[in-house]
Structure 1
Amino acid sequence: MPATPDPPATTTAATAPGATTAAVPGAAADPVAGFRTQGVQLVRLAGALDGSRAAAIARELPRHVEAARALGQPLVLDLADVTLLGVPAAAALDAATRRAAGVTVAAAAPDPQIREALARTLLPGVRVHTTVAEALAALAPGAAPATHAEPQPQPQPEGTLAGLRAEIYGLRARARSHGLIDVAQGVVLARYGLPEPRAAFALLRQVSQAHNVPLRVLASAVVTAPPPPDAGPWFAGRRRVPPPAAPFLTARGCRPDERGKALQAAVDEAVERTGADAGALHLTDRAQGGALVLEAHRGLSATYCDAYAHVVSATSAVARACEGGLPVTDVESAPDPGGAPGPDATLPAGPHTVHAVPVAAPGVPCAGALSVQQAAPDAAPAPGVPAALQALAADVAVWLSWYHRAVLLDALELLHARAAATHGA
């Protein structure tokens, strides 16, 4: 699709049933979004928390502290998506948590520099963990309590830890996509002068279902595509081409317009061709600042998928492969879920070897990274593995380019036609 300027930053908020949030989609980017789940107040902070964000933290975070106190629940600060923690923002976090007397507070940040900053700034009673899963495990029955200066009997999360972790992962996944869908809804609402936001969302959902395009993918296309003309089809005169030959689709019996099945077929082929323990496919989403979004996987635990669902770190193997356009082999750490990883996970927690290649082909820009994981932390690529992965990734890139120029543009044109008709009615 034609290149367009990146959209403005927006807030991501969770809106699952029973959730509470302080974020306002479409407003000036607010770094704080909170929601309540089984017995825990979870507050998600995201983006670069510099001095300009400190006031928002000081304004919003105390509300979640008070909610946790009123409900007798622990508070978990989730900083997994924080890319920078400045001194003023850290001070605002400290000031807010100092008001949490009698509330168990835990923080989670995978970035070691952010963890160190938190450990230096926050009260000693606020334990800092690497992942939300670790923070939840610390709140589980039998764990040593982490309290403030005025200790009180601490409530524990309801239900099993695994069930709570699964619910939070689900909420986080919905939170990642909801803000983008809200932006697309606002674009459609304003562009076509629709009477209410529900009408815009209904159109997006109808088109998503009509072309079997995930709502998040359609929303990203709406945000990043050039605006349609005042009259006529959105992409007038575009040349329609048949789908490319894609052996990985044929081998799995997938149609080229079945995006989800096609992406999963690519991962399955990668794992089986290389004999790896697990595999993953990340694709770049320009509407989310170029983040690499986990689209399909095999053999990975829910904890791993949550940790690598939205890759923004330039140090990860998949990010380096995508950025440099060359294969990357590195040792990374599979997060420990704090319990059984689930029946579908074949990659154990701990250090493991990652082989990542860019999803690119001659004449086709890089669209992401395809990776396989070996449980051994020192596993050198077997002969032929890099070449097999690169050939498969090139096939995926060519198919994906066709999908964007055919199926996705068809969906945008249908959206344009229906919205214009609604506006003219």
Structure 2
Amino acid sequence: MSQEHAVASRTGRRELNTTLGVRRVTHGADVMCLSGILDTEGADLLGHELTAHLRTAGPHRRVILDLTGLRLVSAAGIHVLDSHTRHLSDTPILVIVSTPHVREIFTLSPAPGLRVCPTLDAALAELPPAAPRHPVDMADGPGDRADDVIGPRAKARISAVIGMAQGIVFERYGLTGLRAACDLLRETSRLHNVPLRILASAVVTAPRPAAGSPEWFPGRLRTPPPSPELLDIPEQGAYDLRKLLRTLVLQVVTAADADGAEVHLVDHALGNSLVLEAHSGLDAAYRDRVAQVSDPPAVCARARLLGRPVSVTDVTTDPCLVAAGEGRGVPAVGGRALYAVPALAEDGTCVGAITVHHARPGSWLTHGRLTALRTLADDLARWNSWYRRTVVLDALEHLHTQG
């Protein structure tokens, strides 16, 4: 893992408590993402890694602490953060905090070596102008897209999930170290053509295999890929995430007579957020905005929340988008009208969303085009359910066998 590493606590009582992933997002800053519970053991881990990282980073690199993945912060954690950063009052560590009770802790007892920021973008804005802000590639394993659409913040969060999966594999199978866990995950990713971030998410969210069982999912029945109503892809293509999504987004643009399109899928390891998986006709700035979406006003999130399609005939006059700044960002990529349709599983759960863009404001989708989009969303939902319970579980079984 060039330019990134992950550390997991190891105890005799539980498999994983605190996970710390480190990612270089610019030439002048590293993001340390913490997930889980920062208790006494986690605080010791953080103190050790923070000291080591500050020692090796040098005076020209800033450290950003992303605490948005923490569910609980203990007094020991706050003490370690304070004691290890007091000497940095001139160049404080930037801390991203979103949980209200955690933010309140830092507000009531401000530490001189820490400066709280609401988002990663706000933290990066604190860097000196001389520091370039070009994110490194998220080369998270064989099977991933060459035109990766993940933005800097999403990259850091995904890096933390991969680090968490490495910690789980390392602990569960008693491997020699995190490098061995990384190698096992990457080899499994390559053999089954499952992107590493998808595999890591499955490792983190899947139920623990029974102790001593040679199979992770005993008695599981494998089924053939579903027959799509409109999505045109051969059976073997259904096993290839990249190929299917590339085919889907092209069909979406054609069926909707759209100037751009985006496809999101839900990732449970990233707080059930929508992650951008494929796109057409969208520039890097806009992709950065929608790389990971949790809540409205993003149109895909609104469609997911409501469980039905959402239409915006002019983004520059939509109150929610204008208030959030999205009304300025979308037209910059050539889109004035948006239409998002959720991909709903059989039980009504939203597993993703398809969004199309049109350069001119107003309604442009005919009844036939609307029907085609909804059919493609249904095809996506059926395929996603099959892929997760077949291809991804095959990869997990291989991982378990080798581990």
User: Which TM-score band (shorter chain)?
Assistant: 0.5 to 0.7
Q: In structure 1, which of residues 301, 309, 332 is the aligned counterpart of residue 321 of structure 2?
A: 332
For the Cα contact (< 8 Å) 2:225–2:386, is it kept in 1? yes
For the Cα contact (< 8 Å) 1:359–1:368, is it kept in 2? yes
Amino acid at match of 1:212: N
Aligned residues: 376
TM-score by length of 1: 0.63
Match of 1:270 in 2: 252
Amino acid at match of 1:181: I
Match of 1:402 in 2: 386
Write out per-residue CA displacement over residues 249-296 of structure 1, whole angstroms, 9 at most, x where no aligned residue. Answer: 536997110112212222222222112232212111222321222222
Match of 2:374 in 1: 390
Amino acid at match of 1:316: A
Match of 2:168 in 1: 187
For the Cα contact (< 8 Å) 1:348–1:375, is it kept in 2? no
Task: Write out aligned runs for 1:19-418 (5 A).
Answer: 28-29=17-18, 39-41=27-29, 43=31, 71-72=59-60, 156-157=130-131, 164-165=134-135, 172-223=153-204, 224-225=206-207, 227-228=209-210, 230-246=212-228, 249-250=231-232, 255-330=237-312, 332=321, 348=332, 352-362=336-346, 365-376=349-360, 378-380=361-363, 382-384=365-367, 385-418=369-402
In 2, the alpha carbon distance for the partners of 1:69 and 1:188 equals 28
Amino acid at match of 1:359: A
For the Cα contact (< 8 Å) 2:18–2:36, is it kept in 1? no
Write out per-residue CA displacement over residues 83-124 of structure 1, whole angstroms, 9 at most, x where no aligned residue. Answer: 9xxxxx9xx99999998676599999999xxxxxx9xx99xx
Which structure 2 segments of 5+ residues have no match?
72-76, 100-105, 139-149, 313-319
In 2, the alpha carbon distance for the partners of 1:196 and 1:105 equals 29
In 1, the alpha carbon distance for the partners of 2:354 and 2:308 equals 11
Amino acid at match of 2:186: R
TM-score by length of 2: 0.66
* Cα offset, 1:238, TM superposition: 2.9
Secondary structure of residue in 2 paired with 1:370: strand
Most deviating of 249-258 and 362-371: 249-258
In 2, the alpha carbon distance for the partners of 1:187 and 1:104 equals 32
Secondary structure of residue in 2 paired with 1:71: coil
* Cα offset, 1:214, TM superposition: 1.1
Most deviating of 397-406 and 126-135: 126-135
Determine what percentage of the aligned residue pairs are the same residue.
35
Q: 1:195 to 1:75 in 2, by over 3 A?
A: closer
For the Cα contact (< 8 Å) 1:34–1:44, is it kept in 2? yes
* Cα offset, 1:367, TM superposition: 1.0
In 1, the alpha carbon distance for the partners of 2:135 and 2:96 equals 14
In 1, the alpha carbon distance for the partners of 2:69 and 2:358 equals 26
* Cα offset, 1:41, TM superposition: 2.8
Amino acid at match of 1:176: R
In 1, the alpha carbon distance for the partners of 2:172 and 2:57 equals 43
In 2, the alpha carbon distance for the partners of 1:200 and 1:367 equals 29
Secondary structure of residue in 2 paired with 1:266: helix
Secondary structure of residue in 2 paired with 1:255: helix
